[in-house]
Amino acid sequence: MSHPIPDDARATLPTLTLSMASRHYGVSRQTIHRWARQLRVAMRQTTREDYVAFARTAKRHYADHVLPESKTCTACGETKPPDGFRLDRTVRGTPYLYGRCKVCLAAGRPSLQPRRRPEPLPAHDPWARDLYLQALRAFDVARSEITEYDFA
């Protein structure tokens, strides 16, 4: 179904970005793009100020999000309040706490989970065998203790 072009579109579209016009008129971005092409008007490019305005609204969204009362660190296994974990807001606009606490992140402590050896591949494929041997060597190097003599 084709949406008719609104009467005010010729004056309004040049002042809005594609996303803003889509929200303003309640139609898809593709429809807005088609209207702009038919009217021969150029849409406004997204600027730094648009991103700043979006960040402000996103921060209001973060303020509504409730963090858990406590969380268990995946490295040391201790249960701590949310203040003991780093807060990250990069995943789909929702704040979440890191899996490792700030102390373990600062110490660079590895996880308590043991590293698993790579699964063996079928022996009939020489290329797959080479890849398996490379992964096995990398696993053994990661497990070995690094001493000062390794850098001499």
Confidence of residue 72 (pLDDT cuts 50, 70, 90): very high
Give the pLDDT of residue 110: 64
Q: Is residue 27 exposed (0-12), middle (13-18) or buried (19+ Cβ within 10 Å)? A: middle
Write down the domain spans for the chain. Answer: 9-46, 49-107
- Asked whether residue 63 carries a pLDDT value surpassing 60, the answer given is no
Question: What are 88-100's pLDDT values in tens digits?
Answer: 766 565 677 888 8
Q: Which amino acid is at 132?
A: Y
Class of domain 49-107: alpha beta
Confidence of residue 78 (pLDDT cuts 50, 70, 90): very high
Q: Answer with the residue of higher pLDDT: 112 or 26.
A: 26
Give the pLDDT of residue 64: 61
Give the pLDDT of residue 79: 93
Tally Cβ neighbours within 10 Å of residue 6: 13
| Max CA distance (Å), the chain | 77
Say what the pTM is.
0.36
In the chain, the percentage of residues whose pLDDT exceeds 90 is 3
- Asked whether residue 2 carries a pLDDT value surpassing 60, the answer given is yes
Tally Cβ neighbours within 10 Å of residue 54: 13
